[in-house]
Amino acid sequence: MLRNPSDDHEESPIKGLIGSGPAMREVYRMTRKVAVSNASVLLVGETGTGKELIAKAIHQLSPRGTGPFVRVNCGALSESLLESELFGHVRGSFTGAVANRTGRFEAAHTGTIFLDEINSTTPKLQVKLLRVLQEREFERVGDTETIRVDTRVVAASNRELLDEVAKESFREDLYYRLNVVPIYLPPLRSRREDIPLLASYFLNHYNEENDRYVVHIHAAVMECLQKYHWPGNVRELQNVVERAVVLATSDELTLNLLPPTLLGGKPSLASAPGRGGDLDSLARELVEQGMATAGPNDENLFDRVVSRVERELISQMLAACDGVQLKAASKLGINRNTLRKKLLEHGLEEEAR
């Protein structure tokens, strides 16, 4: 069977995206095909697979490319805040609404809005999103005036939305409105042939950013990178290379610069630089330190020690989850709003994203 030459162009890499294996070529092909339309797109893939990069590529390759590209992380805000963020509000509509505010849908008029972590939206908000997709109109929070917009929607989920529909946590009608054209982003473990390209790209990037000169990757390191299962996907690889560049003392990236998890060591939340052991031993250490520094009439010892243990646990869980609050909260067994309060309480906002 003869191959159409145009297929080669459709599957060629897109600027800003790294990878030339069959899995990524299919992503490039789908991205180019859907970009020229106005259809809603649903990007599905694990955390760290590059969904935002694909969303930007769809926008830039589309007739809307000169219009605004607006990103909203639906998993980072509570229902009320997200509703105001998406649709705007009028002065006095709720406590703290001291002025009218334009929402993200309105700001993305003639362009594209990227709704990341769409799976985390509540049923109430899903109703309003369905109306925008169907009617292209909405009202700001606290207002009765209807606003019409010409905004393309690209949504992303790190979970299979059909599973969420089956669990009745996601509306079936909204799913079909979003899922006009799905694009599945492969995990890094399914595209190991792209790892050398990605590693070299990140190496050059962090050399330039840190004014370093680590120009070689030892063969044993590359073998290790290609054998690892990469639960954090491309973002985890990016972090590993950045760490190695920062710690390197020569012009070569060597095995001793890789974190223990890549070398077959057991993952540990307490494996921060300079500290070993598990969380139990870390907790004992913090308790002993607190007791050693406590005065004879120290009535706040319990609160101080618990606070230190809590802060350390949250800090290391964030590190293990690559700063993703939703994932860290889930592993800690608390809701996202509780985690946010704890981040403010312990001054850990910088470690979360």
Residue of higher predicted confidence among 283 and 75: 75
Judged against a pLDDT cut of 90, whether residue 156 lies above it is answered with yes
Of all residues in the chain, the percent with pLDDT exceeding 90 is 50
pLDDT per position as a tens digit, 270-328 = 443 333 444 555 555 556 555 555 555 555 667 767 777 788 788 788 877 878 887 78
Which letter does DSSP use for residue 89 in this model?
B
Q: How far apart are CA 329 and CA 339, in angstroms?
A: 6
Joined together, the tokens standing for residue 326 give 């939703």
Which amino acid would we find at residue 317? M
Between the alpha carbon of residue 308 and those of residues 37, 183, 283, 288, 293, the distances in Å are 53, 44, 9, 12, 13
- Give 73's strand partners: 116
Query: Helix 22-35 and helix 51-60: axis angle, to 10°?
Result: 40
* Cβ-contact 293, 240 below 8 angstroms: no
Joined together, the tokens standing for residue 255 give 């095995």
pLDDT of residue 282: 55
Residue range 327-334: mean pLDDT, rounded:
78
CA geometry: angle at 317 spanning 116 and 248, to 5°? Answer: 95
Q: Could you tell me what percentage of the chain is helix, strand and coil, using 3-state DSSP and rounding each to the nearest 5?
A: 50, 10, 40
Q: What is the pTM of this model?
A: 0.70
Q: How far apart are CA 137 and CA 306, in angstroms?
A: 49
Residue of higher predicted confidence among 296 and 210: 210
Judged against a pLDDT cut of 50, whether residue 5 lies above it is answered with no
Judged against a pLDDT cut of 80, whether residue 223 lies above it is answered with yes
Which letter does DSSP use for residue 101 in this model?
B
Half-sphere exposure of 250 (CA within 13 A, CB side): 9
For each of the domains in the chain, give its residue range(s) and CATH number, in order of start.
5-186 (3.40.50.300), 191-263 (1.10.8.60), 279-351 (1.10.10.60)
Kindly indicate the confidence band of residue 68, based on its pLDDT and cuts at 50, 70 and 90: very high
Pick the range with the lowest mean pLDDT from 10-24, 34-48, 240-254, 316-330. 316-330
pLDDT of residue 277: 42
pLDDT of residue 310: 81
Judged against a pLDDT cut of 70, whether residue 71 lies above it is answered with yes
pLDDT per position as a tens digit, 227-259 = 999 988 999 999 999 999 999 999 999 999 998
pLDDT per position as a tens digit, 87-133 = 887 775 666 665 778 889 999 999 999 999 999 999 889 999 999 99
pLDDT of residue 239: 92
Report the mean per-residue pLDDT for the chain: 83
